[in-house]
Structure 1
């Protein structure tokens, strides 16, 4: 406790701790003849009468040591350094987690942007394929769609994706194909090994079959393409704008040259099926319009849109595009 005073001449110094008094005496700032007192109520006495000040230099060092119990305890101080370190660590941790949060948000936004760009790119490719089908039907084939080989057919046939090659800018490739032989015959092997970027969804990395053929990520509506002869587009009585013609596949891809590139759309759409994108897939309707159909679409609506002449009411189709 700081309650000691010493007087040297007419000057009084204090309050001081006993430890400070001892240090002053050791430095010669307090002499034996100076007066000291403890507290304000006690009288001043000569400094030589205070044993702790150790003015008797003749006493052996061991005897002159100040007992520990007589020394005042240092006044407690706040551990500012420790508190400051904890605060800095907490602030650093907060900055770290904020950085991770911002990084996750930015990464998520970038991923969404990439997915949207790929979805849009795929839709544009589908539009070109759909335009190729419509041009095939309108230019030289009496408004009839190209056909795929039926499972029971024995004559060599080629798929609808091969038939539209001249209408998508691949006339030179089309002219190299030997149509007297199957698409998978050795004479056609090198041709159908080629990868056609228009038939590949940019969101899908699988581009070649185990046999080395270039794949297609797009399939036709089997109700339109799997026929003995090309379907007259006038026979799509449900309406061209209400019937799916081509759609994205999400798995089980076939080579683009294979006549098997057709499915019943509702069988690979909706819950339980793998879409190429997170929540649905792009389709091309028979009028050439491109649409994105969500996986949450009513299965009854998907089934209706898979038939060219099912006779469903218009309201059913409107439910797919709210």
Structure 2
């Protein structure tokens, strides 16, 4: 057996190709085989049989000719071609080519650089995968810890808001209030001025309930204080933003008026607000309370928070972690810390809500700022408008206007949203604006600060077939409207 190793660099390979082209050997079996080898085939075996050496027939394959290391006769090469190649070309045959000659059979094996690259790529990917598997659990633990800390801060903010309300009103927020039409607002709505939503509270019309068209659009905004970052659900399918924290029913319930002195076991031992893991409710819902044993039961059946634990804010503002697997006697004692509310006052009517992971859409328009003089002497926000969507369609428009010129831009905005059903104008409604409102075929509720309507403007509003609720109109215009139509519920 004869084993010889040769290295072939790029220059020698190009020289070999030029010689083959001059000799017209492009279509020979040897040329094709060599090109396949250079194309990085891993293994190529050529069984050429016992080929005679035409230069020295009695020497056989592998004879050294003319001082050059010639490995053998590969079919198609001619003697004058071999003689034209320099010794350097054959001395440089291969880290990529190893020839073994056994009994006239030639086996060529390519040691490809691509194989080494692929092997290195696989090793790199395996190392990266191992690193990811090693570092992923600590990263997830750090993220969970950060979310838990954020939820704890939310509970502290709510507890602080309740105490600020207590300082202002000498009692904790009322759990829910009522009028003849039903429940109106809950405890969290009353604490919004003390959290981060004082501007929101000033826009809520406390005369009407939480589902009234003049209030409903305000309760779709998601606030960070109401959301536990460990939970994905943000709002209901009816576009009400959710809250992930519910109150102690012994302190905040229907028409409650609990004072600090009534916490006879101490505020440190009385829980105020706690985390929930399911059966979420809108933050504007009047019945946002739940007994502690029910909260623990929900956590046992759905441990999506902190490994079977949940947090509560005590009456003194401190945060306590409770286990959902705590003994029922312990949970009962924590639930029955005085004061004890009347059972009828803590009853929550059954109502289920469907959730989604996205908040509702709002388009906000700032038409421009007030003139410098007006900005000095006129209080209130810059004139602007907001369009609130329901089920993908523009539903409610709230606009703030301060002058006649601003109303012209508002008219254009109304014309571009013909599906509006509720319009609230924080300003004066005149005839031009009334004419544009008459094109809203689905308009059912209209509120304004005041009106300046002529007889023609009154007639235009009276012709709106779907309009049922009209609020803020001046007494003089009200009398004129009643002469034309009695179908309005004027509030």
Q: Which interval holds the TM-score relative to the shorter structure?
A: 0.5 to 0.7
Contact 1:248 1:276 (C-alpha < 8 Å) held by counterparts: no
Structure 2 residue 242 is matched with structure 1 residue 215: yes
Pick closer, same or farther for the CA change 1:232–1:273 going to 2, 3 Å: farther
Deviations 1:89-131 (A, max 9, x none): xxx9999777544422311111110010011011111101100
Contact 1:183 1:257 survives alignment (8 Å)? yes
Shift of 1:152: 11
**C-alpha separation in 1, matches of 2:145 and 2:259:** 35
Instruction: For 1:296-315, list aligned pairs within 5 A.
Output: 296-309=325-338
Matched, 1:106 2:158: no
Change (3 A) 1:100 1:279: farther
CA positional deviation for 1:254: 0.8
Structure 1 residues 294 and 102: alpha-carbon distance in aligned structure 2, compared to 1, 3 A threshold: farther
Cα pair distance change 1:293/1:105, threshold 3 Å = farther
Determine the C-alpha separation between the residues in 1 that align with 2:181 and 2:265.
32
Indicate if the aligned counterparts of 1:214 and 1:255 stay in contact, CA closer than 8 A.
yes
1:167 to 169, 194, 198: 194
DSSP-derived class of the 1:219 partner: strand
Q: Which residue, 304, 309, 323 being the options, matches 1:294?
A: 323
Larger RCO, structures 1/2 (Cα 8 Å, 6+ apart): 1
**1:86 matched residue in structure 2:** none
Contact 1:146 1:163 in 2 (8 A): yes
1:277 is the counterpart of 2:306: yes
Alignment correspondent of 1:239: 266
CA contact (8 A) 1:156 1:181 kept: no
Which has the larger share of strand? 2
TM-score normalized with structure 2 length? 0.43
Match of 1:131 among 160, 167, 178: 160
CA drift of 1:146 comes to 1.1
Cα deviation, residue 293, structure 1: 2.1
Q: Does 1:194 align with 2:221?
A: yes
Cα offsets for 1:229-268 (capped at 9, x unmatched): 3212222223211121101111111111111211002212
CA distance in 2, matches of 1:307, 1:233: 16
Q: 1:99 to 1:171 in 2, by over 3 A?
A: closer
Equivalent-residue separation in structure 2 for 1:297 and 1:94 (angstroms): 49
The alpha-carbon deviation at position 180 of structure 1 amounts to 1.2
Q: TM-score, normalised by structure 1?
A: 0.63
Moved more, 146-155 or 261-270: 146-155
Distance in 2 between residues matched to 1:186 and 1:291, nearest whole Å: 39
RMSD, aligned α-carbons: 4.2
Aligned length: 249
Following superposition, the deviation at residue 205 of structure 1 comes to 1.8
Within 5 Å, give how 1:1-322 maps onto structure 2: 100-141=129-170, 144-149=171-176, 155-269=182-296, 271-309=300-338
The 1:208/1:96 distance shift into structure 2, 3 A limit, reads: same
**Partners of 1:135 and 1:180 in 2: CA distance:** 23
